[in-house]
Structure 1
Amino acid sequence: MFRPLPFFIGVRYTRAKRRNHFISFISLTSMIGLALGVLVMILVLSVMNGFDRELRTRILGMVPHATISSYEPIDDWKKVAAEVMTHKEVVAVAPFTQLQGMLTHRGTVQPVLVNAVLPEAEKDVSIITQHMVQGSLDDLKSGDFGIVIGEITSRRFGIKIGDKLTLVLPEAAVTPAGVFPRLKRFTVVGIFKVGAELDGSLALINIEDGARLSRWELNQVEGVRLKLKDLFDAPRIAWEIARSLREKDLQPRDWTRTHGNLFQAIQMEKTMIGLLLLLIVAVAAFNIISTLVMVVTDKQGDIAILRTLGATPRQIMAVFMVQGTVIGVIGTLIGGVLGVIAALNVTTWVAWLEKLVGHQFLSSDVYFINYLPSELRVEDVVLICSAALIMSFFATLYPAWRASRTQPAEALRYE
């Protein structure tokens, strides 16, 4: 089989044996360093992609993409909803009323955001029905004062379906016995679990029960919640809709005001971590320079002999470029394969490790999700591997150029 001389010699130097064990060793360490850099970069970016995906699917699946609300209760929300639905970017609309208060049960107190919703309409704008672990959203009947709570709240209070909770509202009620906070007993009719911080901070009640607590008419609501085709365009769409509505006192609001900082933080962290890890890959790739410099020094006699046999400077340069490129390709390939395997299995591995040590690394009480997510993207793998290969190639140029400048007489003077 025909093999070009530079390719043949370059590959041979990469796997040199006998007296050249040191050359083989430094070539191996360069491969390992590059492989580890590529592996870690693929794994970390996949984890950051996973956090980004969980934010969009879980957190932003539960909170409104946008809302149109008023400081005064809205009497005819269906009319407003019909006008909102005329916008081409709106997928679904549902009424809501928000109340802030505290849940208490047997001396345990927890702050909570209470969403008063219409069960049949809420299913169209929220993922809540997909994450009900007990009960159903349809069990929120008007007048029954039922409540749906998160799994963390249920665990914290030690309650289940049918148990009673007390909702304390930040409004004082004057009675003959004095001034007391407003209290209302609710029956737990459902428990949801989205695996995020909302499991411990959100509760749902019927829209008419929310009106009763707010001392409004039963048909009055605070506003309407919107589900949009493109949630990242929510600020613009919300303002367009608010301007187009006949009632001018309605105010638009979107998710970027409530959870935008979290999303921006994840995006910034992903960018900065990507740059830092790219520097690690660059350091590993440029280890090839030191490897080839030592090889060139060790092979001065061989280079001189090749030159006297008729090898051109270009061929000598190609020999060491081939050697460095082979190191880069093998290191990148190994790192890419191991990185893909790690990214696809890291969630399972971390869960297994948590069970083994009996400790949960990510808790919903602290983080916005309770497990380590991962989402492998082909474009990330291609970009990382391409960057590693390009840096590996450029790292070969200077040592190869030095080898091509070797003078045979000077190299063989002390041989």
Structure 2
Amino acid sequence: MFGSFERMVAKRYLRARKGERFVSVIAIFSLIGIALGVGTLIVVMAVMNGFKDDLLGRILGLNGDLSVYGQMSYNGPQPITDYDRLASRMEKIPGVKVAIPFTEGQVLLSAGNYNSGGMVRGMSAEGLKKLTVVSKSLTPESFERFKGDDAIVIGKTLADRAGLGIGSKVTLISPQGSATVMGNIPRIKAYTVVGIFDSGMHEYNSSYVFLPISAAQKFFQIKDGVTGIQISTTNPAKVQKTTQALISEFREENLRFLDWTQSNNAFFGAVQVEQNVMFLILTLIILVAAFNVISSLIMMVKDKTRDIAILRTMGASRGAIMRIFLMCGASVGVTGTFAGTIIGILFCKNIEHIRQGLQKLTGTNLFNPEVYYLEHLPAKLDWADVIQIVLMALALSLLATLYPSWKAARTDPVEGLRNE
């Protein structure tokens, strides 16, 4: 497509000579702009993908892909009885990986001078083991001690804030107390810490605690039932299909099924919108750099009017002239895109080390887990996104060269030599 003569001339035009430094400087800034735009877009999209996947994984890891509750009444959801049999049946449904019965309720957590609201989740030791987002950070001894009426597992953040360790006491206070002649008295009970988990999510580490299911049933006065059954599926993206299968199978059990697309859809929809908006905004950086390519090529064409006229009189066709300037502009776009892609990929691969280095250098917390929910800065490279960004940058760069190249090809050699 490009002959050796055209490549040679384009290469000479890209070299800055005396009196042509300004055009070369603009081309360099265009290259840097494209590289920064491509690199920034790759990094931002990777961070957004990582944030969404990590947050989704942790939320679903603790709460399950869908939850099963009893029918509603004027006192709230009815407890589910015969939950072990129901959980075993649910695990046999295609698409269901784990079904864990649980009892939960809101409480006030108290330890010494520390007081905070929290959520109690009661489940069996086997169920806690299946909850990998929690169990992966617990020791085997914690599961052995997770029994009886006074055992409790707490999060790392709660333990740090309240100064708690294994064997410490935590008091749970429930506002739904017992009615007496003196009025409604809150239920208060102290539990011994037998394990400390780290889910990697600040909110869960600070506010969630786990009790043996029998202890939770006694504390919340649910005799032989549970609040619900949480289910993890083999593919969270196809949870609605699994939900429909469960509804069909348990139609006569008077159960309610609530999957994550219903309970958290608004939150993840907002993350998706933010990702699309960031992609659009950062694309403008590449677009601005493409306009710089146009301006630098137009200036180059103006500067090379005499050279174009001479080449035309020597027999160069309009197509050859156009290809020469196409190569000049395309080389800037391709080089900038390639450099930006390498920078973006390397940055994503080492983003957590870079963050920690910047934090040590500046002495500031650049990723506060209380604000961003997660304990570390996630980044997930989606190669489909990378290819899309690269193709878009190349397309914009090549489109930017068309008008200046066409203008150069349309130069009249007679007029060009006359003006000289």
**Coarse TM-score class (shorter-chain normalised):** over 0.9
Q: Which residue matches 1:241?
A: 246
| CA gap 1:257/1:132 in 2 versus in 1, 3 angstroms | farther
- Provide the alpha-carbon RMSD of the alignment: 2.0
**AA paired with 2:28?**
L
* Deviation of 1:63 (Å): 1.7
Q: Secondary structure in 1 aligned to 2:136?
A: helix
| CA gap 1:265/1:246 in 2 versus in 1, 3 angstroms | closer
Q: Which residue matches 1:27?
A: 27
1:83 and 2:89 correspond: yes
1:379 and 2:388 correspond: no
1:281 and 2:283 correspond: no
Which runs of structure 2 are paired with 1:256-267 in the superposition (5 Å)?
Answer: 256-267=261-272
Which runs of structure 2 are paired with 1:183-262 in the superposition (5 Å)?
Answer: 183-196=188-201, 197-217=203-223, 219-245=224-250, 247-262=252-267
Q: Which residue matches 1:124?
A: 130
* CA distance in structure 2 between the aligned counterparts of 1:365 and 1:40, rounded to whole angstroms: 25
* Deviation of 1:177 (Å): 5.3
1:91-137: CA deviations, max 9, x gaps? 12111111111101223221111110111133224421113379624
* Deviation of 1:60 (Å): 1.9
* CA distance in structure 2 between the aligned counterparts of 1:363 and 1:281, rounded to whole angstroms: 30
1:361 and 2:363 correspond: no
1:344 and 2:327 correspond: no
Q: Which shifted more, 241-250 or 330-339?
A: 241-250
* CA distance in structure 1 between the aligned counterparts of 2:210 and 2:413, rounded to whole angstroms: 84
* Deviation of 1:175 (Å): 4.3
Q: Which residue matches 1:60?
A: 60
Q: Secondary structure in 1 aligned to 2:301?
A: helix
Q: Secondary structure in 2 aligned to 1:168?
A: strand
* CA distance in structure 1 between the aligned counterparts of 2:133 and 2:351, rounded to whole angstroms: 26
Q: Which residue matches 1:72?
A: 78
| CA gap 1:156/1:235 in 2 versus in 1, 3 angstroms | farther
* CA distance in structure 2 between the aligned counterparts of 1:34 and 1:45, rounded to whole angstroms: 16
* CA distance in structure 2 between the aligned counterparts of 1:238 and 1:378, rounded to whole angstroms: 31
* Deviation of 1:302 (Å): 0.6
* CA distance in structure 2 between the aligned counterparts of 1:135 and 1:18, rounded to whole angstroms: 77
* CA distance in structure 1 between the aligned counterparts of 2:265 and 2:141, rounded to whole angstroms: 32
Which runs of structure 2 are paired with 1:286-301 in the superposition (5 Å)?
Answer: 286-301=291-306
1:182 to 177, 187, 190: 187
| CA gap 1:98/1:175 in 2 versus in 1, 3 angstroms | same
**AA paired with 1:216?**
I
* Deviation of 1:176 (Å): 5.7
* CA distance in structure 2 between the aligned counterparts of 1:263 and 1:126, rounded to whole angstroms: 22
Using the size of structure 1 for normalisation, the TM-score is 0.94
1:411 to 404, 413, 416: 416
* CA distance in structure 2 between the aligned counterparts of 1:305 and 1:109, rounded to whole angstroms: 85
Q: Is the 8 A contact 1:129 1:136 kept in 2?
A: no
* Deviation of 1:8 (Å): 1.5
| CA gap 1:246/1:321 in 2 versus in 1, 3 angstroms | closer
**AA paired with 1:203?**
V
1:182-238: CA deviations, max 9, x gaps? 111111111111221211121111111111112233x42222221101112224422
**AA paired with 2:94?**
K
Q: Is the 8 A contact 1:68 1:242 kept in 2?
A: no
List alignment gaps of at least 5 residues for structure 1. none
Q: Which shifted more, 2-11 or 70-79?
A: 2-11
**AA paired with 1:149?**
I
Q: Detail structure 1 runs of 4+ shifted over 4 Å in the superposition.
A: 175-178
* Deviation of 1:351 (Å): 1.6
Name the count of aligned residue pairs: 412
* CA distance in structure 2 between the aligned counterparts of 1:340 and 1:294, rounded to whole angstroms: 34
Q: Is the 8 A contact 2:177 2:187 kept in 1?
A: yes
Q: Is the 8 A contact 2:30 2:290 kept in 1?
A: yes
1:393 and 2:395 correspond: no
Q: Secondary structure in 2 aligned to 1:361?
A: coil
1:146 and 2:151 correspond: yes
Q: Which residue matches 2:112?
A: 106
Q: Secondary structure in 1 aligned to 2:92?
A: coil
Q: Is the 8 A contact 1:151 1:200 kept in 2?
A: yes
**AA paired with 2:261?**
T
* CA distance in structure 2 between the aligned counterparts of 1:247 and 1:119, rounded to whole angstroms: 30
Using the size of structure 2 for normalisation, the TM-score is 0.92
Q: Is the 8 A contact 1:235 1:253 kept in 2?
A: no
1:170 and 2:179 correspond: no
* Deviation of 1:260 (Å): 2.9
* CA distance in structure 1 between the aligned counterparts of 2:216 and 2:254, rounded to whole angstroms: 22
Q: Is the 8 A contact 2:79 2:226 kept in 1?
A: yes
Q: Which shifted more, 364-373 or 320-329?
A: 364-373
